[in-house]
Structures are given as structure tokens and as C-alpha cells.
Copies of this chain bind each other. A is one copy, B any other.
Amino acid sequence: MSDPRDPKTSVPQRLRSVSDYVRGDVRSLAAYSTGEQQPGFVKLNTNECAYPPSPHVREALAKIADESLRLYPDPTSRHLREIAAATYGVRPEQIIAGNGSDDCLTIVYRTFLGHGDSVGCPWPSYGLYDTLAGIQGAKVLHVDYRRSARRWDLPDQLAHTGARLTLVANPNNPSSTLTPVSQLRRIADDLDGVLVVDEAYVDFALGTDPAASMLPHLDAHPNVIVLRSFSKSYSLAGARLGLLFAAEPLVAEMNKVKDSYNVNVITQALGGAALQDRAHHAQVIARTLAERARLESELTALGWSWPDAVGNFLLCQVGRRALEIYHALRDARILVRYWDTPELNQAVRVTVGTPDQNTALLDALRKLM
């Protein structure tokens, strides 16, 4: 690269700080940091599903034709949305498919938030909510969870922050706790704004509580958006697919904002195949919940605790040794998630892995504790 401070280049004076053209909101941002991706490690740090996707997904992958690759994909993901509508009991017009639910979140932020508007969300929660607000030039209003040893309770005051857009991850990340749908419905009614219920992990919660999702109540709440992810219970984090559900008038506005061809043809096909294999999906959830029960039992024996978990992960409250434990596990080639923030620096978040992975984790911890 030519050095802009080098007088030998032909760069005009005013270009000496080309980053001056970058929006101030962006210049002052720290980049969002994703969980570590370390090949060869036992990855219990980013809450992917422990089990492979449906064999139907592999069949769909094998059927992708050169012609499908060559031509633009259906910009509306029509066939996928029809399958999703049939699966979830909604209409295709209530759905937008996204390049991961992160893309769905971006679509939501760009639709509803102008510079200086506010986003409300409980805290601690998914860090991307804050990052996206920064990118959009919006302010973040946090309402702290009321935390006890076994519960994270959502304060009703979340309905009264004045934010134009309010987000709740349910189950919450990183706590793996569930807010009752009845409370979310009350918040939606009380809000003067839009409520996003991010149900990335809800399929695991539905395994034990069939009433855990907001989705059946969509028609009663025209200001509610529900997000689902294929990165967790459908084992398709690598393929990037999320679904957004909302009332048709909101969907129509959000469709203006999404990138035209936001979901590639392969992911559209894999997502449809995954949705249609209900038996595999149910089995993955059952196996995950069984392994979670074993992990919980063994971690309890080690003296660990966590808030009551409904997702495929546990936010283990391990006290002052959290960072030490994180590093010791890392040395044993096991990745868990640690955050160096006052609210979370006495915890590690552990994804429920395969039986072998969980055994490896427990063995490492027994040596350590």
C-alpha cells in the first residue's frame, strides 16, 4: 500500500486521512468479536448443535445443479417460506428468510431505527444487539435482568424505556433462561414500539415446554417480530439461515430493506430439507436434552451451578476462577466462552456437546477442580 504520508505519492493533501470519510458512528465502533474458531479443538463455545444435520440436507446438497449455481436465486426464497409456513402454521407472506438470523436482525434495525433512535433490551444478552445499534447510529437502553442463583427475571419496565425497537432473546443468551410468553405478550401490548423476540434457541426449550414460543401468538400482536435460526437445532450454522416472522404490513416494509438476493440457492434448498425432516429434528433435540441432563448432573457433583437452563448451553457460575478455568480448558483443547465484563466475568458458558465431548470436558474439569 502506498503510505498516504509519503510525499512521493500523488495523493492530494486532503486524502491524507481517508478514514475521515468513514461515518463517525462507525469510526468509534469496536468490531463485534465472534467466538473463536479453532480447528482441532472441542468447540463448546458458540452453541452450535452437537449433532449433524438431517441426512435429507446432504441429499439436497447433492442435488444442487450447475444451473442453480449459474442463475440468480429466488430473491424471495418462496419455496423455503412455503415449507416454513406449513411447518410453523403461518402464512408465507408473514416470513422473510435471511442470511442467518444476524441478517434478519440487520434488516430489522435498518427498517425501524434512524440516527439517534433507541434500542431497548435486557442485559446481559446477545452482544450483537448493541453492535448493530452502534452501526445504525442508535442508542442502547439496557434494563438489567433481576438475577438470582437459579433465575434471570425480566423486569416489566422493559416496556417503558421509550425505545422504538425492543429485543428479547428467549431463551436468553448467555443465560439459557426462559421468559414466560405471557410476560412477553404483556410487554408487547404495553410497548409503544416494535418487539423482537429472538427465538434462536427456542426449539430446545420447546422440548420440555410446548408453550415456550411467541410464534403461535403472532396474529394477536401486530408489533411483534419473531426470529428463528437454523444455526442451532437444525445444525446449519455453516449454511447461514434465519427466518423472520411478523405481520404482513411489517414484512412488506422490511422486504424493501433486505438485500435482493440475500439467501443463496443452496441454503434455500438445505433449509427446506432440514425443516421437512421433523423426526431428525426431534431426535437431535431429545439427544441434546438428554446430554444436558447428564452434564448438569455431573457438574452439580463438581459443585457448579447455573441458572435454570432451557437451551443447549449452561452459564456456569464458577466464581473468581472463571478466567483460570477458561484458560485451563483451552490448554486441554476445549473451548468454552468467557467474557471479560463485570456482569459475566465469574461465569463460563458451556455448550452441550456430544457425549464424548461432554466427557472430555468433565474429565478436564475433574483434574482442574
Contact = CB atoms under 8 A, between A and B. Distances in A.
A34 B238 contact: no
Interface string A130-154: 0000010100000000000000000
Interface string A188-230: 0110111000000000000000000000000111110000000
A179 interface: no
Copies assembled: 2
B256 A135 contact: yes
Interface string A93-120: 0100001101100100011111100000
Interface residues of A, number: 100
A30 B19 CA distance: 32
Contacts of A194: 18, 21
A259 to B, nearest CB: 5
Nearest to A185: B10
Nearest to A14: B192
Interface of A: 1-2, 4, 9-12, 14-15, 18-19, 21-27, 29-32, 34-35, 37, 43, 46, 48-49, 51-53, 57-58, 61-62, 64, 66-75, 91, 94, 99-100, 102-103, 106, 110-115, 128, 135, 137, 164-165, 189-190, 192-194, 219-223, 231, 235-240, 247-250, 253, 255-257, 259-267, 270
18 contacts: A1-B247, A9-B220, A21-B165, A29-B256, A34-B75, A35-B72, A46-B71, A48-B70, A48-B71, A72-B231, A73-B240, A99-B259, A135-B257, A238-B264, A238-B265, A240-B261, A240-B263, A266-B266
